[in-house]
Structure 1
Amino acid sequence: MTIKLTTRVDRPLVIRYKSIMLEQYAAYSNTAKISAGSHSSEYTGHHTLEGSAFMNSWGLRFRKVDGDTGKALSGATFQLQQKVGHGDWETAKRMDNDQPYEPVVSNSEGYIEYYLMGTRAKYRIVEISPPANYSGQMGPLEFDKKSAEEAGWHKEAHEIKNYTTQPGNLTISKASENLKENSFNFEVRAVDEDGNVNTQLQGTYKLQEGGEVTFHNGVSEEISVPANKERTILGLPTEKN
């Protein structure tokens, strides 16, 4: 910008101005120049701006226990996830270094712990695998700082219960007299005593006749059964059949 004075200047002239920087990441400088006749003076100033910020974070711990005895369970593996975008979930990241949280395994006292979580983020823990000889993975457990404090989890670790299981097999068959060359598709659902789908059943199970079948949120993928033959799913947790 150039300012031209049309009147006689017979006293010292001072130029004062200010700069407003928006999203300026690189080094910033201004140069001011005054010219009068054959005289010219130029001034360049450099300024280093410094600032600081404080990061608020919080932590939480959970305890894995036997649902019948309350005994601590070690060996359960969990993943911490964070809600992003339009409700999608992805592996949560630490506030101090922006690195993803690694899966955490419950220790000998059943505890898992998370630190440096964001105060405004929404989280959930997902059980990747349960302890040996215990029921399938729990459903995802959602929380944020406010809901956790309202539930008292910041004062006493929230207990996550698992129940012992004895694996059993499930056989599916279809009897047909006139459709011997056909096959039939079945979907298996794990339900509770009220008939509601039990979403805790997850994982892949072997078929006795060969192959595998995967359960997601308590519902199996389609299983094809030839007419007058059987398909047997091996090793299902009995309390969820």
Structure 2
Amino acid sequence: MRLRALLAAVVLTTTAAPAALAAPGIANGTDVPPGQFGFVAKLAMTKIPRPDGSTYSSFCTGALVAPGWLLTTGHCFHDANRNRVSGKVPYPTTATLGLTDEATESGVARKVTEVIQAKENDVALAHLDTPVSTVKALQLNRALPKVGDQLTLAGWGSLTSTNPKPATRMQQGTVAVANVAPTTLGVRGTAPAITTSACTYDSGAPYFTEAGLVALEATGPGCPHAGIETTSRTDVLADWITKTTA
């Protein structure tokens, strides 16, 4: 297992991707219909520092859990030595919500101003410069997840970890809970394929049901894959999230 590497420098090779891989998104997922899942945020970061003083740009995914707050993976915000940080956002970060297709929709853009890291797992709250009133926040599911539960995954990640590119069209897929640990869930793809899986730039992508948010993307193997993906449970953070965003 490894960090999803959303904030790692992306090295592009000259190898051409197969034609079937031309449209990036969750690995082996499907297009999200227009008007759906507006709470899923695409996070664009610039001027991310490296130890040698150079910088780079990258992306994460998140979910709106209150008008002025996103929940995402904690390692999306770090210092030059990749230590997770809280406080003032460490580099310019823009969150875009309320759209499924960047080619035809503009969405709602906000700047992230502050980051608060969770203690229990690799999760962080990101404070927006202005609350979002046109997008409904995703509710929190407080029930204990169970093996076999079916969850929807939606995000702006790449289709493959080879020559990754952030999505321009939001993707979705269905996974099943494979195991339950104190702060994490193991999930495995079920539809549209057993290889449906989170990919590069999906860190922080929400796993949810009609009852609300169940988990966030955390770590995983190369994608697409048919193995178990590690996600961060959000039911164990529900009280902290509610108190912090109130």
Comparing both chains, which one has the higher relative contact order based on Cα–Cα distances under 8 Å and sequence gaps of 6 or more? 2
Which has the higher Rg, Structure 1 or Structure 2?
1
**TM-score scaled to structure 2, two decimals?**
0.25
Question: Normalised by the size of structure 1, how large is the TM-score?
Answer: 0.25
